Each structure stands twice: as C-alpha cells, then as structure tokens.
Structure 1
Amino acid sequence: MEPLPSLLPSLLSALQAVDAATVDQEYSVVRSQTLLLKKEHGLTTEAGSLKENVKKNRYKDILPYDQTRVVLSLQAPASDYINASFIQGASGACSYIASQGPLSSTLTDFWRMIWQHSVKVIVMACRETEMGKRKCECYWAAPHQSAAFGPFTVTTQVELRPNEDIVVRTLTVSYQQETHSVMQFQYLSWPDHDVPYETHGVLDLLERARSSRGADSSPVLIHCSAGCGRTGVICALDYIHDLLVTKRLTEDFSILKIVLELRRQRPSAVQTRDQYQFIFSAVISMFERFLQTSGDELYCNLPEVRRREKKSSAAAASADRSSKKATMNDTYAVVNKPKQPTRTTSEPAYSSVAIPRSNPGSRTLPPPHHYDNDIGGASAAPIYSSVKPRVKPQTLPLAASAIYDIATPAREGSDYHLVSAEPPSAVDDDYEDVSSSVSDVSSFFSPGGIGFNCRIQKPKGPRDPPAEWGRLER
C-alpha cells in the first residue's frame, strides 16, 4: 500500500477533479446496483411488513433488511421489532445503528435499543418538526427535568448551543436503579431531502461526537426522520474519517463503493443525488483539514509544501494585480490629490479620484478638480461641496421658502442627511420673483401662483416709453 502522505494529496486532487456529470453518472450506478445487491445477498424486509409492525414504521417504503435489523430482546415483549439497522464501520465491527426517528408509539422501544446496546453517543440529523410535518418525537426531557418512557427515566442534565447549528445535550437514563450517561448531538441546519449549504458544520458535528465517544466501542446511534438519507451521509463521512485516521486509505478508494456497502445494510442510505454530491464536498474538506492540521511525523515535509504553495500563490496574485493594473490604465485616469495635513477623524479618508477617460470624438473633459478645499496648508474641511439654492421669494413664509436642500453631517462620524437650506441673502439680478396674491401660501403651487417656483425672467435692455409720454398737451 502506498504511504498515506503521498497518497492523500493524489486522492484529494482526484476528488477535486470530479465534475457534476461524473456525480450524476455514479449516482445512477448506485441506484441500479442497489437492486442487484438485494438479489445477490437475498435481502428481505419480512419483519417490517408484518401486520403488527406496520404501524411502527414512519414510512412504509423504508423497512430494515431482516439480515441487518436490530432485534430487541430487553423485557421480551410481544414484538422484537424496531425500524433500525446495524452498519459495519471501517474496522469491520458494528460501529453504527441507523434508525428512523421514533414515533410516539415506539419511544419505549427506542430507549430499549439504546439501553440494550449500551449506546453512549446519539447523532440526530433532523429537527422534531420540519416544513410543518412531525419528523421525530422528542425522546428527551426539557433542561434540568426528567421524563418517563415506559420503565426508563430520562433526565436532561445539560443543554448547550455551541453554535447556531448544533445542540448538545447530556442525558442520563435510569432503568431498575441503574443509570447510564448518553450524549446527544442534534444538527439543526440540515433540510429534509436536501443538504447543508456548507460542509464545515457537519464535520464539526462529527468531530464533537467522536471526541465524546473516545475509546468506547459501543455503536453510535445515528438517526434522522427515515433513517436513510441524512443518516447514510453521516455514516459514510464517519466511515471515511476512520479510513483516514487509521491509514487504511488505498489507491482504489471509492465513495461509490462505500455508499453501495451502506445500502447493502440499510435501505436507501444516501437517498438523493445532492446528498451523494455533498459527500464528495465534505470529504474534500476533510482531507484538506487533515493535511493542514495533522501533527503526525509522517507529514514533516508538509511545511515545505506549504511554503512552495504560498510562493506560487503570491506570484500568481502579483501577476494578477499587474494584469488588473494594466487593464485599469487603459480605462481610467487616476488623479492623485496633493498630500494633505493630518486628518481629523471626522474627515473622509479619500486620497484619489478615478475619472473615466473620454472616448475619441467626445467633448474634452474639464481640468481635474480637487475637492480638498486646502488653502494655505490649513486643515482640510470636509471634501463634499454644497450647492447653494437660487434666491427664494422674500414674501413666502420661511417654512415654504426652503425649496432646495443641502447635505450636511448630523454629527461627527455620522451619515449625511438632508436639512433645509438657509434663506439666501443676495438678490439674483437675472430673475425676479412674482408673489402670489394669496397671503396664506401652503405650497409652491398654491392658487394665484403663475407656475414653477413663481419666477419669470426679466426683460433684457431698455423698455420703450408708453405712448402717452409722446403726446403733446394742448
């Protein structure tokens, strides 16, 4: 077997090269091969189809195989059936129990299974209610409270939210004066028949579950609603992680083979094409994380590899910046402002203005204008220029005279907002204002006004005298 340090990067490159068409093709193979697996291994679902067990299944088409189903024995009631399956891990031992979320009628059976197989860790990949439908019954108690499920008493000692995706509960279950501790990890951000928007949350969930499990050899109970789609993805990812850390990865590593092996033990494991694609994405993240954080002596050459990659990335970034600069020089003319004195915190921190070049044949742009307002090296005022309004009619009330607004800061460091301009003090010689005959003006277009802004242009040049002035008096 090729040493893992040299094998893992090549496997990572191969996974990164897988495109959507390849994923579609492989998932089609998974679905077609599932039918062959049933025939080849003689897989049956007779126990789940029995009349007395039908109501114990959340979905009538997801029934555990008789060859791998969990058989209940504790208390030996009338039925030993529960919709759950054993799944082998990377070591070949029974590492997982893939189960449907319990129904109200199977809560006691669910705890019978946990107690019987000394389950210490539960991974829950769903919410109790999703899209308005009940997906799983609550099989634990409220924080610092207890709840009874048949002969079992379950107490929630601690409930934590390490992040928005995960809830961690420390449970104790008591049966016949004996008490066991169980850790439950619930993932909240996994939609039914869909996948999370990123992989790190699920990998973090599994890392927490593994740390809590430690060296315990009892199976991990994994469930969602049906116990096949999301449950199958988690089983596959943990299976691959075990291959990774135990250095059992080989050149013929295949996610396709692993998923088919899961489907041989639990029907419809990894239920959709998107879930299959998610495994690829999560495994890529897993391998990258392992290469970056492994402290094993086998990875002693990894710093040199990182240095080479860093140099390559820096060179590529430099070339990219040069290319962008050349492109920008063809598009923009950058007008640099002269050095300014020390800015105060209230002054905007702009140092240059980019002006698009004019196209050939277009009008010539005016000389670049600086908005510094620097005079004699004095401290610069805010670089925003204000537009003063034209003269307003002196006869209008003050409330109605502020037709134009200017932008002024409300306070230091705040955004700009519009405030009314002060009434002008100078008289515009080009225009004259015609006041309305109505004394109470409530708007700019009040009755009696003659139009927009109530202003008319003054006549140019001298006016002819009235005809009466030229008459001779007799």
Structure 2
Amino acid sequence: MELLPSLLSTLKTLDSGTLEKEYNVVRSQTSVLKRGPSLRTEVGALKENIKKNRYKDILPYDQSRVVLSLLTSDSDSDYINASFIQGVAAGSSYIASQGPLSSTVIDFWRMIWQYDVKVIVMACREIEMGKKKCECYWSPVQQSAAFGPFTVSNEEETRPNEEIVVRNLTVTYQQDSRSVTQYQYLSWPDHDVPYEAAGVLDLLERARDSQGTHTSPLLVHCSAGCGRTGVIIALDYIHDLLVTEQINTTDFSIMNIVLELRRQRPSAVQTKEQYQFIFTAAICMFERLLKAADERQLYSNLSQQQKKPVKPPPVSKRLSQQPDMNDTYAVVNKPKHPPTVDPAHSAVAPPRSTRTLPPSPSHYYDNDRAGASAAAVYSSVRPRTKPNTLPLSVTPIYDTAQPSNHRLEEGLLPVKRLSSTDHDYEDLSPSVPDMTLCSPGGIGFNCRIQKPRGPRDPPAEWSRLER
C-alpha cells in the first residue's frame, strides 16, 4: 500500500494518446503470438465442436481451455468454449467463458459442477441490440428448472442497485445440492464501456465477498467471453496484486497484464475504449484503497489512544489537589453514647429498652477519641462565613418558607405549639454552636436551630410576616 500514491500519480499522467499507442502494441504483439506455434485452437475448430462456439473467430487456446471430464450422457464431450486464466496467488484462477448457447447450457452446468464454482459474474444481458447474447441458464425467482440432470432453483433475487442483479441459486445433481451466487451486471453495452467505473468496482467487491476463502475459480462471462470478461478479470487481477503486495512502481504495467490475459484467452480486452477503461477504473480503485487505508489508520490510532492506560498522578500531587472539604461538606458525627441531659429540661423521649451498650469498638470516628493528638477532621459543622451577612436585627428574606395554605390572623401566621413528644428535630452534638439564622440569600441548608429544652413559644423569627 505504500506504493499506491506513486502508482496513482503515474497512471494520472498518462493521456489518451499514450494509451492508444499502448493498445496498438497489444494488438500487434497478439497477432504475432497467434501466428506462432504456441497458441493453437485445434480442438475448438473440430467439426463436432464448431456448433458449440457462439462466434467462429473466438476459440479457446488448446493449452488453456477448460476440459470437461464429468460425463452425464453418452453424447457428452470434453469441449466447452471457456479458458482458464491464472490468478495472482498460487492455485487461484478464473474461468473466462462465452455465454452459453441453448445447445451448451448442460455443458455450462457440467463445468460449474465439476470445478465447484461458487460465484458467477455475468457482464451482459440476455438480449442486447435485438440479438440473443446469452441463453438463460437459471430459473425464475422462487422456481426451479431442469437442465439435463441438473436442477437449478432460484431461491432469492435481489437488486442492491439499478446496475446489479444478485441471484442465489441452488444446484442439485444426483441428490447432492450446492449453492451458487450469480451477479449480473446490466449497465455494460457490448463493445463499449460503462459510463463510470464505480459500478464495476462495486460488482467485483460483492463477488469477492461471496467468493471468500474458496479456492474454486471465479467464473466470468459475457457474450463472447473476451471483451467485457477480460476487463473484469484484469481489474480483479490488479486488485489482488495490490492486496498481496506483489506490485512495484518499476515493473507494474497494465499493458503487460492485458498481454498476459491474451495469451490465455483470445481477444481479452477487445477494444481500445475497454483498454482505456481499465486505467480509469484502476485510478478509481487506487483512490478507494488509499481512502480505506487512511480510515483504518485513523481508527487504529483512536483505538490505541482509548486502550492506553492513564497513569495516576503521584500521591503527593493527589494530596495537594485534595479539595478543602471543610468548605464543601458539613458532616455531623453523632456521638456514639447518648449525651447527658437534665431530665427536668429534656424533651427527648426515654429509650424503648434498657440494654447494656456494647464495649467500645477497636476503631474510632475522628471525633470519638478523647485526648487525641490530631485535630478532628470534618468533626463539626462550620457555616461558611458570608461577607455580607445581615445583623440579627434584619429580617431574613428567603430563610423561611411560608405554607401554601397560610391564613392571616391579627397580622400573624397561626403557630402550632410544640409538645414535649414532638421529634421533628435532629439531635446535634453538644459541641455544635447554636445558630438561629441562615445566611441571607441561602436556601436553608445547614441551618441548625437547637431543639428547645421544653415547651415554650416559638422564636419570633418563625412567625414574622413579610410585608
């Protein structure tokens, strides 16, 4: 992937004139190869096989043709107009085939079954320009069709976009069933190119996902199995070169790739426009791969940052950053033993039972130890001082709340007198100072009014009416 930027820059510098010259070189070298002894098409030219070829000038080379060894009847032969094309990785390959004729549909399924094909890429329509370009070798959706000894069921048919049809087929032969996925590309005219490369690249990505780790060949066909088929195989071949890092800037040449394809399948990449389209699609592919690599790097960096452990600060620093809790919280620690109260003035109810208190525990609260050397921490309520605290003579504004059902009587609110059995007050330690007023503007928290020692009139501040 490190070479992608330089490869992309090189491809973008090529103009149409340069590409046209390269394609002319491809054609001239292919003509030389055909005249040589290495590329023969004798089997396809046999009398009994002539009728099995859709076009008389597109015959598979003998050394790379697909040989059928699966025999389903006495009339079966080993010939089909299809060629093996070697892939990038060892053991991987493609089958470039013509679209089946009505007389070769059974041979087509023999080939698929024999070589355990899992994915088919169909780059043509059945009828184009008013001519039959490919025989229908599948059944309508949710139906089955018999092709000789093979039964093909179309389990599902979807269209992820307007250019692609996906068919999930089940093929049965001699009580054995297999799944085959077919991708039909609808937007590629014969002897022409698609209007954009993204559709073809999406088609190949879907086909690769379906192929997965299967080592069986990827079957690609159009009508003749050379022009559109050659472009698709060339693009997938370039993709595999990139992902397997078998590519470099010195010897990477699309012209050489196309020449190698033509040594295995005649007329692969059939026109100059198709040859130029490979460059256009390759640029789009490189840009996609670069973007995906950047996104993966960004995601990896974010993941590493999230997984990086956070080192806590030193203990001394943590202690220095400890907030002053005396100014934040007011914690009242009640004494562990009941305070000594004069019975004559006590309003505290007597205990429900007289039981012996347990011995003093082995641990102490911070204000329990008598004569402790350390000063108590958070042991008493310290009201925060306010610089603008009103004197006692000033009436507080928000410190008291008026009940919603208040009634005026002689200018005063009715007051319920407290009996000696009321327990609506909080017991405070004797060390807590008396506080009768809250700071003005407060909302009533930490306002401590010590419980009255006996029946008496409530403080005048409780019943003063705001005017």
TM-score (norm 1): 0.61
> Which amino acid in structure 2 is aligned with residue 11 of structure 1?
L
Match of 1:147 in 2: 145
Runs of 4+ in structure 1 deviating by more than 4 angstroms, as ranges, are: 295-303
Match of 2:172 in 1: 174
> Which amino acid in structure 1 is aligned with residue 15 of structure 2?
D
Match of 1:125 in 2: 123
Match of 1:13 in 2: 9
- Distance in 2 separating the partners of 1:50 and 1:209: 35
The RMSD of aligned alpha carbons is 1.9
Contact between 1:194 and 1:274, CA under 8 Å: does it hold in 2?
A: yes
> Which deviations, in whole Å up to 9, do the C-alpha atoms of 1:127-157 show, x marking residues without a partner?
0000000000000000000000000000000
> Which amino acid in structure 1 is aligned with residue 45 of structure 2?
S
Match of 2:155 in 1: 157
Q: Report the CA distance shift for 1:93/1:295 in structure 2 as closer, same or farther (over 3 A).
A: farther
> Which deviations, in whole Å up to 9, do the C-alpha atoms of 1:79-138 show, x marking residues without a partner?
210000000011243410000000000000000000000000000000000000000000
> Which deviations, in whole Å up to 9, do the C-alpha atoms of 1:39-76 show, x marking residues without a partner?
55611000110000000000000000000000001016
Deviation at 1:36, TM superposition (A): 2.7
Deviation at 1:265, TM superposition (A): 0.2
1:318-329 aligned within 5 A: none
Match of 2:225 in 1: 227
Deviation at 1:38, TM superposition (A): 3.4
> Which deviations, in whole Å up to 9, do the C-alpha atoms of 1:420-474 show, x marking residues without a partner?
xxxxxxxxxxxxxxxxxxxxxxxxxxxxxxxxxxxxxxxxxxxxxxxxxxxxxxx
Q: Report the CA distance shift for 1:300/1:178 in structure 2 as closer, same or farther (over 3 A).
A: closer
SS of the equivalent of 2:137 reads: coil
> Which amino acid in structure 2 is aligned with residue 283 of structure 1?
A
Match of 2:34 in 1: 38
Contact between 2:91 and 2:215, CA under 8 Å: does it hold in 1?
A: no
- Structure with greater proportional strand content: 1
> Which amino acid in structure 2 is aligned with residue 10 of structure 1?
S
Contact between 2:154 and 2:167, CA under 8 Å: does it hold in 1?
A: yes
- Distance in 1 separating the partners of 2:89 and 2:37: 21
Contact between 1:57 and 1:63, CA under 8 Å: does it hold in 2?
A: yes
Match of 2:280 in 1: 281
SS of the equivalent of 2:84 reads: strand
Match of 2:59 in 1: 63
- Distance in 2 separating the partners of 1:111 and 1:149: 8
Residue 265 in structure 1 maps to residue 264 in structure 2: yes
- Structure with greater proportional helix content: 1
Deviation at 1:297, TM superposition (A): 7.0
> Which deviations, in whole Å up to 9, do the C-alpha atoms of 1:366-393 show, x marking residues without a partner?
xxxxxxxxxxxxxxxxxxxxxxxxxxxx
Deviation at 1:301, TM superposition (A): 11
Residue 187 in structure 1 maps to residue 185 in structure 2: yes
Q: Report the CA distance shift for 1:23/1:168 in structure 2 as closer, same or farther (over 3 A).
A: same
Deviation at 1:194, TM superposition (A): 0.1
Question: Which runs of no fewer than 5 residues in structure 1 stay unpaired?
Answer: 304-474
Contact between 1:86 and 1:94, CA under 8 Å: does it hold in 2?
A: no
- Distance in 1 separating the partners of 2:116 and 2:300: 42
Contact between 2:125 and 2:134, CA under 8 Å: does it hold in 1?
A: yes
Q: After superposing the two structures, state which structure 1 stretch, 179-188 or 87-96, moved more.
A: 87-96
> Which deviations, in whole Å up to 9, do the C-alpha atoms of 1:224-273 show, x marking residues without a partner?
00000000000000000001111111122100000000000000000000
Structure showing greater relative contact order (alpha-carbon pairs closer than 8 Å, 6 or more residues apart): 2
Contact between 2:82 and 2:98, CA under 8 Å: does it hold in 1?
A: yes
Match of 1:426 in 2: none
Deviation at 1:178, TM superposition (A): 0.1
- Distance in 2 separating the partners of 1:41 and 1:26: 25
SS of the equivalent of 2:236 reads: helix
Residue 216 in structure 1 maps to residue 182 in structure 2: no
Match of 1:108 in 2: 106
> Which amino acid in structure 2 is aligned with residue 185 of structure 1?
Y
Match of 1:81 in 2: 79
1:197-212 aligned within 5 A: 197-212=195-210
Contact between 2:157 and 2:165, CA under 8 Å: does it hold in 1?
A: yes
Match of 1:256 in 2: 255
> Which amino acid in structure 1 is aligned with residue 199 of structure 2?
G
Q: After superposing the two structures, state which structure 1 stretch, 43-52 or 247-256, moved more.
A: 247-256
Contact between 1:102 and 1:110, CA under 8 Å: does it hold in 2?
A: yes
> Which deviations, in whole Å up to 9, do the C-alpha atoms of 1:315-353 show, x marking residues without a partner?
xxxxxxxxxxxxxxxxxxxxxxxxxxxxxxxxxxxxxxx
- Distance in 2 separating the partners of 1:188 and 1:302: 41
Larger Rg: 1 or 2? 2
Q: After superposing the two structures, state which structure 1 stretch, 63-72 or 289-298, moved more.
A: 289-298
Match of 1:416 in 2: none
